[in-house]
Structure 1
Amino acid sequence: MLSGRGKNDDETVVNMLASAVRRDISFGKLFPDQKLKIEELRSRYGGSNHSMREALRLLSAEGLVEATVQRGFRVTSATEDDLRDIILVRAELERIALQRAIAEGDVAWEGRVVAAHHTLQRIEASVVAAADDLTALQWDEACRAFSHALIEACGSPRLIDLQRKFFDQSRRFRLALLREGRLDFAKRKKRQDDLLRAVLARDTVGASDILKADIEAELRAESRTC
């Protein structure tokens, strides 16, 4: 019997490569519209031609990379129109999912939301103190975890998958605002606290409105009050 890596090993390599490229797109180390050449990516991240190409196809399905027959792969654009569309889709999608989660979620779900909120608040305090790359990555993952916890009880795997996809597309906009010091963390904390209270009170309308406002503010710079 021939020896070698199995299918699971290949999938692990592809997922690891996709994760590394996804992270660098999100952090702006790979620029919008930048052409992605397989050989250059292999020298940077490792892997084989096949595994790198599969990783890029995976990111293409997520909307972070574009693939064309003649021109290969490139990072997707990050224009104002792109941002506006991502905000629209995330707001509508996540409000629907949150409404379903509030209707169907149990006490265990509430506990997971509370835990994710607590983790996010602790990490946001660290980011305010010192926003290096490691802390920024931890913060971004905590944002993702809180967003996921809010909707995970919605009962729809497809809604959850779509939320993850568009959350990933929004990461580079949010992280750019963080790098530029344009996020108002005091206002963020108030919104997130208000959102948690509304969710625990099963206030569907209030929670949906706060979530929409939070998504919009998270991806656009908001004015600071002195």
Structure 2
Amino acid sequence: MPLTVLLVDDEPLVRAGLRAILQAQPDIEVTGEAADGAAVLPLIRQRRPDVVMMDVRMPLLDGIEATRAVLAAFPDPPKILVITTFENDDYAYEALRAGANGFLLKRAQPAEVGHAIRLVAAGSSLLFPVALRRMAAGRTNPRARALLERAALTGREAEVLRLMARGMSNQEIAAALVLGTETVKTHVSAVLAKVGARDRTQAVIAAYESGFVTPG
């Protein structure tokens, strides 16, 4: 079964370009389009996409609020990949903090677009960890610091979180720590539960903003 994608962007040319790129991917299918975040919820109910590609800047409901709405409306929401023009976009970072699973630059190459969709859908590694590190640089959050302190991660879980922040997949973490992949999955699940994160992106943001991991 192909991965199904919903495109959400207020620029018709951007949507057309993304559709052309994704239609060339044998394992990806575009299942619908919207010009604003306000149209996202009914389309998700109708089309049940695996991934929503969401522009962060839209006139009626931007990608940040639309992301919050999606996560609040669905117990098992689709993955959300926000698309932005600027790499160090505060809007994109706030969308990630709101629960988006990753971000993609509009100038990305066609191969990167397909790769991003697959990676976000799989959820086994962090999308563009270096760019996320740059976005997080200089940002602190006392609530995140308190959360990480209360999480009481074991030594192994702390190691796993640090490697997650470097963008390593479960398989790469397993190789680095000489563990089985299933054991790593168990540790990752424990980290997400203790940190109260929906996915790796949320856990890594908390790790950066708390000072547990230092960007750079």
| TM-score scaled by length of structure 2 | 0.29
More helix by share: 1
| TM-score scaled by length of structure 1 | 0.29
More strand by share: 2
Q: Which has the higher contact order (CA 8 A, sep 6+)?
A: 1
